[in-house]
A and B are shown apart, each in its own frame.
Chain A
Amino acid sequence: MLELRNVTKIFKIGGGLGLFGRRTIKAVDSVSFTIPSDKPLIVALVGESGSGKTTIAKIILGLLKPTSGEVLYKGRSVSDWIKRDKLKYFKEVQPIFQDPYSIYNPFYRIDRILELVIKKFNLASSKREAKDLIIKAMKDLGLRPEDLLGRYPHQLSGGERQRFMLTRILLIKPKLIVADEPVSMIDVSLKAIFLNQLVSLKDKLKASCLYITHDLNIASYIADRIIVLCHGKVIEEGPAEEIIKDPLHPYTKLLIDSIPIPNPRCRWRETVDLTRLESFKKLKAEEGCIFSARCPYVREICKTKAPPFEEVKPDRKVACFLYM
Chain B
Amino acid sequence: MNPLLEVIDLRVYYKSIWGDYKSVDGVSFKTYENEILGIAGESGCGKSTLVEGILGLIKPPGYIPSGKVMFEGIDLLKLSEEELRKIRFKKLAYIPQGAMNSLNPVIRIEEQMIDAMLDHSDIDKEEAKNLALSMLKEVGLPVEVARMYPHELSGGMKQRVIIATTIAFKPKLVIADEPTTALDVVVQKGILQLLRKLKEDYKMTVIVVSHDMAAHAQIADRIVIMYAGKIVEIGNIYDVFEDPLHPYTKGLISAIPSMGKRYIKGISGLSPSPLNWPSGCRFHPRCNYAMDICSKIEPDMKEIKPGRWVACHLYG
Q: Which residues of A contact B (CB under 8 A)?
A: 48-49, 142, 157-160, 187-196, 214-218, 220-222, 244, 254-256, 258-268, 271-275, 277-278, 280
Query: What's the Cα separation between A273 and B258 when bound, in Å?
Result: 25
Chain B residues with CB under 8 A of A244:
259-260
A33 to chain B, nearest CB (A): 22
The answer for the CA separation of A158 and B193 in the assembled complex, in Å, is 31
Residues of A within 8 A of B83 (CB): none
Q: How large is the interface on B (under 10, 10 to 19, 20 to 34, 35 or more residues)?
A: 35 or more
Tell whether B304 is near chain A: CB-to-CB under 8 Å: no
Q: Which residues of B contact A (CB under 8 A)?
A: 42-43, 139-142, 144-145, 148, 152-154, 156-157, 160, 184-190, 192-194, 197, 211-215, 217-220, 237-238, 241, 251-261, 264-268, 270-271
Q: In the complex the two chains form, is B257's CB within 8 Å of A255's CB? A: no
A-B residue pairs, 4 tightest by C-beta: A274-B140, A193-B266, A192-B266, A189-B267
CA distance A267 to B196 in the complex (A): 12
Q: How close is B37's CB to chain A, nearest CB, in angstroms?
A: 14
Chain A's closest residue to B185 (CB) is: A258
Smallest CB–CB gap between B31 and chain A, Å?
A: 18
Interfacial chain B residues near A266, Cβ < 8 Å:
217
Say which residue of B43, B160, B188, B217 sits within 8 Å of A263 (CB atoms): B217
Cα–Cα, bound, A144→B214 (Å): 31
Q: Chain A interface mostly helix, strand, loop or mixed?
A: helix
Residues on B with beta carbons closer than 8 Å to the beta carbon of A254: 186
CB atoms of A277 and B257 under 8 A apart: no
Determine how close the nearest CB of chain A comes to the CB of B289; give it in whole angstroms.
Answer: 16
A191 near B255: Cβ-Cβ < 8 Å: yes
A268 touches B257 (CB 8 A): no
CA distance A48 to B156 in the complex (A): 13
A222 to B188, CA, bound (A): 23
Closest residue of chain A to B253 (Cβ to Cβ) is: A262
Whether B218 pairs with A187 at a CB distance below 8 angstroms is no
CB-defined contacts of A262 to chain B, threshold 8 Å: 213-214, 217, 241, 253, 256, 258
Q: Is there an interface contact between A196 and B258, defined as CB atoms closer than 8 Å?
A: no
Nearest to B213 among chain A residues (CB) is: A262
Report yes or no: A191 in contact with B271, Cβ–Cβ below 8 A.
no
A and B contact pairs by CB, cutoff 8 A, 23 listed: A188-B255, A188-B256, A189-B252, A191-B266, A192-B264, A195-B257, A217-B259, A220-B259, A221-B257, A244-B259, A254-B186, A259-B214, A259-B259, A261-B258, A262-B214, A264-B220, A265-B238, A271-B197, A272-B190, A274-B140, A277-B156, A277-B187, A280-B144
Contact check, B258 vs A217: say whether CB atoms are below 8 A apart: yes
Give the distance in Å from the alpha carbon of A264 to the alpha carbon of B268 in the complex. Answer: 26
| Chain B residues whose CB sits within 8 angstroms of the CB of A278 once the complex forms | 154, 156-157, 187
* Assembled-state Cα–Cα distance A221/B215 (Å): 18
CB–CB A272/B186 < 8 A: yes
- On chain A, the residues within 8 Å of B214 by CB distance are 217, 259-262
CA distance A24 to B156 in the complex (A): 24
What distance in Å separates the Cβ of A162 from its nearest Cβ neighbour in chain B?
12
**In the complex, chain B residues whose CB is within 8 Å of the CB of A280:** 144-145, 148, 152-154, 157
Nearest CB on A from B155, distance (A): 9
The answer, among B190, B215, B260, B270, for a CB contact under 8 Å with A277, is B190
CA of A216 to CA of B148, assembled, Å: 33
